[in-house]
Amino acid sequence: MAGLPHLKAKTTMRDAPHLPHLSYLYNPYEIAICGYSGGGKTHLIERLLASLTPDLVMGYVKHRAHAFHMDRPGKDTDRARQAGASLVSIADGHHQALIDACEGASLASDLRYLRCDAVIVEGGKDLSMPQIVVVDADKKILDDLPRGAIALCGQEPLEHALPWYHRDAIADLRSLILDRWAQEAAAQPILGLILAGGRSQRMGLDKGVLQYHQHPQISHLAKLLAPFSRQVAISARPGQYEAESGLPLLEDQFLDMGPLGGLLTAHRRYPTHALLSLACDMPNIDATFLTALLRERSPLRLATVPRGEAGLEPLAAIYEPKFFRFAWEALGRGEVSPQGLLQRHRIHSFVPELKNALVNVNLPADREAWLRHREGRDHGDEGLTRESV
């Protein structure tokens, strides 16, 4: 994948251990580098960032710094702050800075860190996140190890239950961090979500009950999604279906918002799950496509989305939990287009090998064309293309 290393899971998504949900401060993929002052934390972080940033967009947080001043006396922003402004910012065409003097303000609620792939925190011995501990020359930190310590780093080898790394072994420390994030990604539960709540006004019939294969499309997709997800659920309009399928029926809580309403409803019910979402009107999607989608999944980004002839296809995609922080914000602005959200944020997109995988069947004539081509496709023809419909 261009620009981002794959995080190889230790187990399959379906069989990964179901870890309890761990809250995060800045980003689901974060790690702290902590230790006593003068121990070399900043130098180590500089080198780690240099090794990670060719592939990842990284955030950095200096946790609980001593009193600091980022403003210059007499400048416009300083004068505004001295006059009583609690929130001051400055920006040029390439950078921006913000000084927040509001009581109780926290960067942990800042969406800008979620736009990063991952975050390194300097300090934060008291934080609930994985920590690499830089051991000081006197080894005093060993008497006060944080609970989140996953490794030790220093100049001299140590006999300890935690793994030890030389502070110059940057490649090994980089691998440790990426492996940790890969394990967290593998443990992320996936919900297979069948998006069936559209009104099917152009088709004239409920697309979820139309049959292209051996079963109605909802049943077909449920069977298709099962090996790739921990749970499968149906997104539908209120009263659209009876709860008889044995699958969770998620009736839209956000009405007249299109697919985003179904996605938000599912996220509200399964807030720790990534959503593997499929609409009912793409009958060419098969296990080969889903295998490729999971292989392409980039969990450090907001979503993994295939790209077809018409651009991004948001209704056959994987949405990471952190995507929904931006979705809720967009909802507050009245924006309900998943495609618009995806175009503005950091996602991973790819072009499926099967060029017809993302063909939509929206009209009766489209369906008739698809059915006519089915026999030809079974005999090795390409099947339905956008030109066919």
Q: What is the pLDDT of residues 22-57, one digit of tens each?
A: 478 899 999 999 999 888 999 999 999 999 999 999
Q: Which pLDDT tens digit goes with each residue over 221-265? A: 999 999 999 999 999 989 888 765 688 999 999 888 889 999 999
In the DSSP assignment, the letter for residue 189 is -
The CATH code of the domain that includes 9 is 3.40.50.300
- Tell me the percentage of the chain whose pLDDT exceeds 90: 54
Parent domain of 334:
190-378
In a shared domain, residues 161 and 274:
no
Amino acid letter, residue 291 = T
In a shared domain, residues 183 and 194:
no
CA distances from 373 to 20, 133, 244, 358, 382 (A): 47, 62, 33, 16, 9
Contact 185, 268 (CB under 8 A): no
Q: Closest by alpha carbon to 248, among 179, 192, 294, 204?
A: 192
Q: Closest by alpha carbon to 289, among 194, 245, 353, 198?
A: 353
Domain assignment present for 336: yes
**Total count of domains within the chain:** 2
Residue 178: what pLDDT?
A: 97
In a shared domain, residues 334 and 355:
yes
Amino acid letter, residue 227 = P
In a shared domain, residues 23 and 166:
yes
Q: Is residue 276 classed as helix, strand or coil in its secondary structure?
A: strand
How many angstroms separate the CA atoms of 383 and 379, rounded? 10
Q: Label residue 81 by pLDDT band (50, 70, 90).
A: confident
Higher-confidence position of 389 and 352:
352
pLDDT surpassing 90 at residue 204: no
Q: Closest by alpha carbon to 248, among 259, 268, 157, 256?
A: 268
Q: Which of 187, 222, 253 is the last residue of a domain?
A: 187
Q: Which of 135, 152, 187 is the last residue of a domain?
A: 187
In a shared domain, residues 236 and 161:
no
Q: What is the mean pLDDT of residues 209-229?
A: 93
In a shared domain, residues 3 and 22:
yes
Contact 235, 291 (CB under 8 A): no
In a shared domain, residues 58 and 169:
yes
Domain assignment present for 78: no
In a shared domain, residues 226 and 369:
yes
In a shared domain, residues 47 and 143:
yes
Domain assignment present for 156: yes
Q: Is residue 44 classed as helix, strand or coil in its secondary structure?
A: helix
The CATH code of the domain that includes 361 is 3.90.550.10
In a shared domain, residues 255 and 181:
no
In a shared domain, residues 251 and 117:
no
Contact 326, 114 (CB under 8 A): yes
Q: Closest by alpha carbon to 7, among 132, 172, 117, 151?
A: 117
How many angstroms separate the CA atoms of 191 and 182, rounded? 19
pLDDT surpassing 60 at residue 168: yes
How many angstroms separate the CA atoms of 273 and 187, rounded? 10
In a shared domain, residues 197 and 116:
no
